[in-house]
A = this chain, B = another copy of it.
Amino acid sequence: MRNVVVTDITRANLDQVDTLAEYGVATVHEGLGRAGYLGPRLRPAYPGARTGGTAVTALCWPGDNLMIHVAVEQCQAGDLLVVAPTSPCTDGMFGELFATALQVRGVRGVVIDAGVRDVAELRQMGFPAWSSSVSAQGTVKATAGAVNVPLTIGGQLVRPGDAVLADDDGVLCVPRQQVPAAIDAARARTEREAATRKAFLDGTLGLDHYGLRPKLDQLGVEYLSEQEYLRRAGG
């Protein structure tokens, strides 16, 4: 079942994905009950980008980018290409030529659990990339894989057509069906954050804003003076 290319995937609604992307990765992640984050290993090739799109997925053999070529044909405007190798790989499987081909098609960026190269060119083109390494090491086009099958990165399942959001904090996957609910959750979270920010700017403490003091009592957290602490800690 591995060597397949699925051709007509159902995508999340792009307008909704764009709305969601504006909230940013951390906020949507919190809104969703802290789920869907692809982990700290994925870092932006250059800082400052924030984007989102619908996932086209490619599963590649390590050191081999044949299936990325296959995936390009499946991409359309608003997509975000998500690539995973079948085993750990740091090679530069993606570079400026792929970025050119994708930018022409209106693709928003790339997320890859392996290496990217041509980082200076990607920055110049404004084609954002999130990857687990930067490497000039080139790859071959020799081994089959799959396009538009579910894959996992950082312990999270990414299904073709899911919404994928990315910014300086990393990458988030929101299952296609949950996008509308995620917008509501992100909006509510943003409003709560705005209220909290205002409270914090006014000098209110999180301990009070979130009502945490009783929990501290319950957990047996004890307040001591330095003198008392040193006395107990030892002669």
Contacts and interface: CB of A to CB of B under 8 A. Distances in A.
Interface of A: 1-10, 24-26, 29-30, 33-35, 37, 39-40, 43, 46-48, 50, 61-64, 66, 69-70, 72-73, 84, 86-92, 95-98, 100-101, 104-105, 113, 115, 117-120, 133-144, 148-153, 155-157, 167-170, 172, 175, 177, 193, 196-197, 200-201, 203, 205-207, 210, 212, 215-216, 219-226, 229, 232-235
Contacts of A235: 177
Nearest to A60: B63
A135 B170 contact: yes
A1 B233 contact: yes
Contact of A73 (B26, B101, B207): B207
Given A26-B117, A215-B66, A5 B233 contact: no
A203 to B, nearest CB: 6
Given A101-B205, A169-B118, A225 B6 contact: yes
Given A118-B169, A143-B140, A3 B135 contact: no
How many copies of the shown chain assemble into the complex? 6
Contacts of A3: 219-222
Identify which of A96, A98, A156 gathers the most chain B CB atoms within 10 Å of its CB.
Answer: A96
Contacts of A97: 193, 196-197, 200, 206
Nearest to A73: B205
B226 A6 contact: yes
Contacts of A61: 63, 140
A115 B196 CA distance: 21
Contacts of A120: 24, 47-48, 50, 167-169
